[in-house]
Each structure stands twice: as structure tokens, then as C-alpha cells.
Structure 1
Amino acid sequence: MAKSTTPIRDAVLVKYLNEAYGKEEQLQTALKAQIALAQRPTLKRALTDHLKVTKAQSRALKARIKALGGTAVSGPDLPGPDAVSDVATTAAAVANKAIATAKGPLQALRGTSPGDNQLRNVRDCFWNEAEEIAHYNVIEAAAEALGDKETAQLARRHRREEEKMQNFLAREIPKIVKDVMKDEVPKEERATPARRRTTTSRTSSATKKSTTSGRSTSTPARRRAKAAA
């Protein structure tokens, strides 16, 4: 095999890009399973949209890896440019796909209720977004340190897409938790909504303020009446 002439700088970037590429390839299978389990329309729609984003990210990463002289690999071993044969690349991709596929059915069986299953899947989605954000933070920092503006811009764009999805999931989790608590915990064992306590507190405060104001107004009147007598 001919020795690679790819600069070491590019080989280092390909290494990190391939790690992100492998994660994006894994998530395509996981997201399909999570979409099937999603009960909330807003969640199903967001996951479906994010699957499209994930596929686009995979394509962009693959193109960037190729532009740097590397080979996109989604398996456990993520080499730099020209370090694996086509056979090894295919075998790694198949093995990785099988691992991701195996996770889908297991997610559907581990919860205590459909709502609990959905909650656990959203929690896993949130964790996956955190891992992806970490990958793109590393890629962006490495690219900037090596003066590769194009790779840095790609990483920055992808990171922002992952952060957007993670922020959505962060807002969804409390809503799903609330539904699960209603389904699995008796009403008398659930906490009283904070809103009621806040409303009561405001009412008491307003009543107290009104009473104090009334006393303040009547006191000078009494004094004048007493002086006139």
C-alpha cells in the first residue's frame, strides 16, 4: 500500500470528524426507534425533523472528511486517511449499525408504562445531544488551532443544531414527567402545584396591604375629629 501523503494536520482533523460521523450514523437508527415510540405530537415532529438534520450532518461530515483526504468510517475503529481497506470500512459500518439497531427494541421494553418509556427515550435523546455537542466542541477547537476555518465553521453549525434540539428536549422533559406522575402516582401523593400557593400568597399580601392602607387613611381623620371636639 502506498504511503499516505496527507498532512498530519488533516489526519488529526479526520480522526475527530470520523468520531462525530460515527455518532451521527448511529443516531439515525436510534432516532427512527424513538420516533416510533413518541406519543406527543410535538415530540414526534421534532424527532422527525432532527432525523433529517442528522442525515444532513452525516453527509456534510463525510464530504469534509473526503476533502481532507480521509475515509468516512462509522465503526469502533476510527482511523485517519487511507488507513483502512474498503472491506474493513464496510465491516465496521455494519457492526456499528447492528449495535444501534439492537438498542431500539430494548428501549420499548424497559419502562413501567408507555409514558415512562417515552420519558426514558427523551432522556437518552438529551444525553445523545450532549455527546454530539462535545464532539463538535472538540472539532471546532482543533480546527481553529490548526487554522482550518472551513472545518471550524462546519463544527460550529452542527453544534448549534444540536444545542437547539437539546434545548427543546429540556423543555419537553418536565411536561412528560408530569404526565408520568399522573399515570403512576396517586393524586394524594403528588405535590400541590406551586401556582396555587403563589396565588394564595398574593391574595394574602393584597389583603394585608389593603388593611394597612385603610388604617393609615382613617388615623388622621380620627385625630381631626378629636381635635374639633
Structure 2
Amino acid sequence: MSESREWMIQWLRDAHAMEEQAETMLSGQLSRIETYPELRERIRLHLEETRQQASRLKTCLDRIDEGSFTVKDAGGKLMALAQSISGVFAGDEVMKGSLASYTFEHMEIASYTILIAAANAEGETEIVQACEQNLREEEAMAEWLKSRLGQTTQTFLTRAAADSDSAKR
């Protein structure tokens, strides 16, 4: 097996672990943002996309007889769980979650861009197609988050001020 193919397979495994981590992270966020209905609905939709993305990558790994790397997947899920639990104690959890989500989307975008180039070099058109689909979904989520960061911030600040005023009374 060529070194470039080995790298492609490693990065494909990494991407699968990344999607497993994203699923855990999104599930944690979803359970705690009921007062932001638009954000909650978009995260719910992206959680479904994330599950499909992981499935696409698993199919690619299975097709080339490589499977996923379960230790890495488990480690990623554990890190995501710790991150989602730590947000419970932050008064500005929705803001920290928005920041983490926007950052994570860009890591995924970079990962898929790299994978597409590697799969193209190896002539793996099915992997290219799966990664291009995942990339489009990640770009759409990143753009959606970016377009709402100001609105989410304003809503958070308005609610925080109202909570502060009512606590003073």
C-alpha cells in the first residue's frame, strides 16, 4: 500500500471519529438550549446530517476494508461529552456552545477539503463524493451559525439583562 493511500485511510478514520465526536457534542447542546428555538431546530437538523456523515464515512471505510478505529472514536466521544458537560456550569453556555460549534465546523471543513484532495490523488471517486457531500453540509452549517452569531448574542444579552433586573427587585 502506498504511503499516500495510508494517509488517506488515516484521515478518513480521523474524519469518522470527528463525526462521532460531533454527534456527542451536538446531542449535549440540544438537550440544554430549549429557550433558543431556532438554534435548537438547526442543531437538531445538523445532528441528523452528522449521523449521515458518519454513516457515509463508515461505508467508505468498509468498502476499502479498513473499518473505523474504535479507540479513536471512543476517545473523541469522551472528549465531546466532557466538553458538553462543562458547558452546563457556564452562565453563558449558549455563547460558548456557539463559539465551539462554529470553530468545530471549520475544523470539519478543513478535514474534508484535505480528504477530497487525498481521495482524488488515489482515484477514490466514491470517497470524494461522500466527502464533498459532507463538506457541503458543514459549510452550510458554518454559514448558518455565522449569520446568527450577532442575533444569538443580542438575545443572550437581552435575557441576561432582564434576569439581572429581576434579581435586583
TM-score by length of 2: 0.86
Cα deviation, 1:61-120, whole Å, max 9, x if unaligned, reads 0110111121211544xxxxxxxxxxxxxxxx4444322222212012123xxxx21111
Matched residue count: 160
| Other-structure match for 1:106 | 86
Conserved 8 A contact 2:13-2:68: yes
Secondary structure in 1 matching 2:65: coil
| Other-structure match for 1:19 | 14
Among 46, 51, 56, the alignment partner of 1:55 is 51
Secondary structure in 1 matching 2:69: coil
Q: CA RMSD in A?
A: 1.8
Q: Structure 1 residue 162 and structure 2 residue 138: aligned?
A: yes
Cα deviation, 1:127-183, whole Å, max 9, x if unaligned, reads 111011111000001111222222111111110000001111011110011123334
Could you tell me how far apart the structure 2 residues matched to 1:155 and 1:119 are? 29
Could you tell me how far apart the structure 1 residues matched to 2:75 and 2:109 are? 24
1:76-155 superposed matches below 5 A: 76=72, 93-111=73-91, 116-155=92-131
Cα deviation, 1:15-44, whole Å, max 9, x if unaligned, reads 110110000001111101111222211111
Could you tell me how far apart the structure 2 residues matched to 1:59 and 1:180 are? 35
Q: Structure 1 residue 43 and structure 2 residue 23: aligned?
A: no
Moved more, 99-108 or 121-130: 99-108
- Unaligned 5+ segments in structure 1 are 1-6, 77-92, 187-229
User: Partner letter of residue 29 of structure 1?
Assistant: T
Conserved 8 A contact 1:11-1:70: no
Larger RCO of the pair (alpha carbons < 8 Å, separation 6+): 2
1:177-192 superposed matches below 5 A: 177-184=153-160
Could you tell me how far apart the structure 1 residues matched to 2:64 and 2:76 are? 23
Could you tell me how far apart the structure 2 residues matched to 1:181 and 1:13 are? 44
Could you tell me how far apart the structure 2 residues matched to 1:44 and 1:185 are? 22
Secondary structure in 2 matching 1:13: helix
Secondary structure in 1 matching 2:134: helix
User: In the superposition, relative to structure 1, how do residues 74 and 138 fare at CA in structure 2: closer, same or farther (>3 Å)?
Assistant: farther
Secondary structure in 2 matching 1:37: coil
Conserved 8 A contact 1:24-1:58: yes
| Other-structure match for 2:29 | 34
Identical amino acids, percent of aligned pairs: 24
User: Partner letter of residue 8 of structure 2?
Assistant: L
Among 64, 69, 72, the alignment partner of 2:65 is 69
Q: CA deviation at 1:185?
A: 6.0
**Bigger radius of gyration among the two:** 1
Larger helix fraction of residues: 2
Could you tell me how far apart the structure 2 residues matched to 1:96 and 1:108 are? 19
